[in-house]
Structure 1
Amino acid sequence: MNAQRPRASADAATTAETTGRKLYDRVAQETASIVIRRYSTSFGLAARLLGAPVRQDVENVYALVRVADEVVDGVAADAGLAEAEVLHTLDELERETERAMASGYSSNLVVHAFAISARSAGIDVDLTRPFFASMRADLTQTEHTPESFREYVYGSAEVVGLMCLRIFLRGHVFSPQQHEAFIAGARSLGSAFQKVNFLRDLSADHDLLGRSYFPGVSVDDLTDAQKDELLDDIDEDLARSAAVLRLLPTSSRRAVALAQGLFTELAARVRATPASALVHTRVRVPDPVKLRIAAGVVAGRLPHTRPHQEDAT
């Protein structure tokens, strides 16, 4: 009879893995992974370079971000929801996210996956509320002042970098000075991502979504001087984020370096495109170039950026 006990115990363990909470958690996280890989080839490529302890958590974060983005960027409207209903849907998504962060459960699989990572990494409403505020602004605000633009970029992109940073640094000990440098780097990289996407999507955002993000910049009369000024600001963000790459834990360094490299390349291609052409062409990084940048990162080469203005003096 004693010989039967280990097998019974093993059977119980197998049952626990294929039913109940563990199964639900696993299915939720697999759902999050599918969402992000279907929506972003660049992110999918970078995510492969994340270490196992952090990869799933980062995918969980980005899946929620993607779902919220789809609510405000037209999928809900395409389904026939009126503007007020779209706003209500976004509000409900935020409330469900906060409930899941508090309880550890949601019937929404993507929200449930996010809650797993948020509770593990210490992601709280101090980051999710600014994010949802920026998503809400996309439904209520078509133009920005310098102040509202800074708030929007912080909530829509910088806080996502800070969420990922909490995942990257979980279980590691750094000095207060290093931690502050990480925060500045994460915010700068998120800001650069958002701004370069705004610039290359200037026409689509205006024509299809009715939005103009850059204060004082019109899609109809964008000049090369304006474009280069915006790119100078983006390059400074990229330089600040590049400065902390080597300090990141090995589990996240290569993936962040690849993301940095891809957006540095994208910014360079936007700079090489005349302002008049940006309204007709969506600049992208070709797949062979993405793979070349990825191969360099895997080989240990970190991306180069133009020097930050303060460092060039």
Structure 2
Amino acid sequence: MMGPHTPSLENDYKICESIIKEHSKSFYYAFSSLPELDAKAVYAIYAFCRMADDAIDHASDKAHRLENLDKLKSELNAFLAGNRPDTPMWRALEDTCDRYDIDESMLYAQIRGQEMDVSFEQPENLEALIHYSNHVAGSVGRLLLPILCNDPSAERKVNAEKLGVAMQLTNILRDVGEDFRQHGRVYIPTTTLKRHGCSMNQIEQGRADQAFVDVWEDLAAEAEALYDSFRDEISHYKKEAQLPLLMSLSVYREILNEVRKNRYDCFTKRNVVSMTRKMKIRNEEMRFLKKIKNV
């Protein structure tokens, strides 16, 4: 068994915790209730993924974005070769990788997903969108799996990826306007737009008419089906992780309902789940877990 964390390592994890607390209040609300070591491991994984995301979001042009990603990839190469960069995130991630069987290939998949954003092409169909989503979000599900589950079988890995894809689809449906205005990206597949008679001009103008609503609900149905199918997985996870994971799933799913409540305005509004609703979701999931335990 590994020894306790040193004061320096404790501070490294606190820095990782501050990152998830700032950038993803929903994830933090869910996973901060995990046992201490598991929660810290989640924070370290999140901090790495945030660094990959920031590598392109905080860069001014394509060349700078690729340079940042190349630097991160070089640091990852060194890290996995035993030459860990001496920064809080890498120190915390090293401790996490020592404690859990983290799939290192998923760290590279995360970077590859960011590279796909740098050289962005609007997905032609749902399959292309899911391929992208597997890199940027399915990889996160795979990275968290050994922390939250004692049975990282092939089936568990596939379903963890699917949950990540559901959350990425939710991000896309929440951020249609922001993605277009700030990054010039439209993640909605061209075939989905054509099928419902929704033009790119409608996206550019931020018109939530019936054609757009039909497009939006088409992708929302894909996400909700993935959320629903994952609920059958929960019994395979650590007892202490079941409630945090269901809370994360359901709070994210609730974002879709927030967009609906706001008449599908994902162009000008930042649709978020209130703390009151998060607390209600927590109680609902506690009742669900109690029910399946007694079945």
TM range (shorter): 0.7 to 0.9
Q: 2:93 aligns with which of 114, 117, 120?
A: 114
Is 1:149 the counterpart of 2:136 in the alignment? no
Is 1:31 the counterpart of 2:15 in the alignment? yes
> Which runs of 5 or more structure 2 residues have no equivalent in the other structure?
194-199, 291-295
Q: After superposing the two structures, state which structure 1 stretch, 184-193 or 53-62, moved more.
A: 184-193
Q: 1:202 aligns with which of 176, 185, 199?
A: 176
Amino acid at match of 1:262: V
Rounded to whole Å, the distance in 2 between the matches of 1:200 and 1:210 is: 16
Amino acid at match of 2:62: E
The list of structure 1 runs, each at least 4 consecutive aligned residues, that deviate by more than 4 angstroms after superposition, is none
Residues 282-301 of structure 1 show CA distances to partners (whole Å, capped at 9, x for unaligned) of: 3221221112212433x443
Shift of 1:88: 0.9
Question: RMSD of the alignment, in Å?
Answer: 2.5
The change in CA–CA distance for 1:53 and 1:29 in structure 2 (over 3 A counts) is closer
The change in CA–CA distance for 1:63 and 1:278 in structure 2 (over 3 A counts) is same
Rounded to whole Å, the distance in 2 between the matches of 1:160 and 1:104 is: 24
Q: 1:189 aligns with which of 144, 150, 163?
A: 163
Is 1:213 the counterpart of 2:187 in the alignment? yes
Provide TM-score, normalisation by structure 1.
0.79
Q: Which residue of 1 aligns with 2:281?
A: 293
Q: Which residue of 1 aligns with 2:38?
A: 54
Amino acid at match of 2:213: D
Q: Which residue of 1 aligns with 2:196?
A: none
Shift of 1:104: 6.5
Shift of 1:31: 1.4
Q: 1:45 aligns with which of 20, 26, 29?
A: 29
The change in CA–CA distance for 1:279 and 1:208 in structure 2 (over 3 A counts) is same
Give the secondary-structure state (helix, strand or coil) at the position aligned to 1:76.
Answer: coil
Shift of 1:101: 3.1
Q: 1:164 aligns with which of 129, 144, 163?
A: 144
Give the secondary-structure state (helix, strand or coil) at the position aligned to 1:256.
Answer: helix
Rounded to whole Å, the distance in 1 between the matches of 2:222 and 2:90 is: 34
Q: Which residue of 1 aligns with 2:220?
A: 231
Is 1:76 the counterpart of 2:56 in the alignment? no
Provide TM-score, normalisation by structure 2.
0.83
Rounded to whole Å, the distance in 2 between the matches of 1:263 and 1:42 is: 7
Give the secondary-structure state (helix, strand or coil) at the position aligned to 2:185.
Answer: coil
Contact 1:158–1:191 under 8 Å retained in 2: yes
Contact 1:101–1:115 under 8 Å retained in 2: no
Q: 1:139 aligns with which of 118, 121, 129?
A: 118
Residues 113-146 of structure 1 show CA distances to partners (whole Å, capped at 9, x for unaligned) of: 1232134322243211111011111112142233
> Which runs of 5 or more structure 1 residues have no equivalent in the other structure?
1-15, 304-313
Rounded to whole Å, the distance in 2 between the matches of 1:191 and 1:230 is: 11
Contact 1:123–1:166 under 8 Å retained in 2: yes
Rounded to whole Å, the distance in 2 between the matches of 1:247 and 1:104 is: 35
Give the secondary-structure state (helix, strand or coil) at the position aligned to 1:214.
Answer: coil
Q: Sequence identity, in percent?
A: 20
Of the two, which has the highest radius of gyration? 1
Contact 1:54–1:168 under 8 Å retained in 2: yes
Rounded to whole Å, the distance in 2 between the matches of 1:140 and 1:113 is: 31
Q: 2:235 aligns with which of 246, 254, 274?
A: 246
Shift of 1:273: 4.4
Shift of 1:278: 2.7
Rounded to whole Å, the distance in 2 between the matches of 1:161 and 1:104 is: 26
